[in-house]
Amino acid sequence: MEYRPYASPKKAPEPAPETEPPLPYPGATGRGVRVAIIDSGVNARHPHISGVAGGVSVTGPDQIEPGSFTDFLGHGTAVTAAIQEKAPEAEYFAVKLFHDSLRTTTPALIAAIEWAIDKGVDVINLSLGTLNFQAEGKFRTLVDQASWRGILLVSAREANGQVCWPGSLPGVIGVGLDWDCPRSRFHTKEVNGGVVYYASGYPRTLPGIPRERNLNGISFAVANMTGFVVRARELHPAENVRAALGSC
């Protein structure tokens, strides 16, 4: 089964000029929060990247290579930049799951999440989702392990209109896409008895490139939401973060 970040099923609408309101949780920068970003790695030399504390390359359960996380696809760098824009002083770890394309396998994804949990990070960003319900039991176990250790997992709740794993599971901060939401804000909605967090699908702006021609979609809604989660986590213990997000 292949896993990959899901693009929007429709072309992104023409964006309005960026006039962003102030970020939630004034004064927070992510200081003291440890974040794992499971994606295509990070280009640490990119001007939008404030720093990377370390990371690994994951190709399977027994194929984890420390320190080999350079991004050759650009997706993970853009995701990291969107998070760091909101929380530049957090400590970031790149978990390179996508290598030659934005595709991976169930065992590799599980190994990547397990590595992040064992690393003892505070927040895991997972800008992807899968419709493979056969892995539900394992995902539930991983979510329970993360929750027990006070780790907040932020993931896409749906892919192309269909709920997906692990973002639809209880215990995960499941994210939806709202093209009209400013990048500096998010909002919540109760769906089927659970809370879904909606954020902008646009990444950080690149000079000279129109926003609608840059990477965009649910991956960046997750990344933008992770930035807010990291800011909230700096100010609150893990068990109080959801309440803090709900009051924003």
Tell me if 215 is assigned to some domain. yes
Tell me if 18 is assigned to some domain. no
pLDDT reading at 162 higher than 80: yes
Band (7; pLDDT cuts 50, 70, 90): very low
Tell me if 137 is assigned to some domain. no
What's the mean per-residue pLDDT of the chain? Answer: 89
Tell me if 123 is assigned to some domain. yes
Tell me if 240 is assigned to some domain. yes
pLDDT in tens, 82-98: 999 999 999 999 999 99
Domain of 239 in residue numbering reads as: 29-129+144-246
What pTM was estimated for this model as a whole? Answer: 0.90
Q: Residue 213's pLDDT is what?
A: 61
Distance, CA of 207 to CA of 215 (rounded, Å): 14
Mean pLDDT of 187-200: 93
pLDDT reading at 1 higher than 60: no
Residues of the chain with pLDDT > 70, as a percent, come to 88
Which runs of E-coded beta strand occur in the chain?
Answer: 2-3, 34-39, 54-60, 63-66, 91-96, 104-105, 123-126, 152-156, 158-159, 162-163, 173-177, 186-191, 194-199
Q: What is the CATH number of the domain that holds 148?
A: 3.40.50.200
**Which has more pLDDT, 38 or 194?**
38
| DSSP assigned state of 4 | B
Q: Residue 149's pLDDT is what?
A: 97
Q: Residue 90's pLDDT is what?
A: 98
**Number of folded domains in the chain?**
1
pLDDT reading at 14 higher than 60: no
Mean pLDDT of 64-92: 96
Tell me if 60 is assigned to some domain. yes
pLDDT reading at 19 higher than 60: no
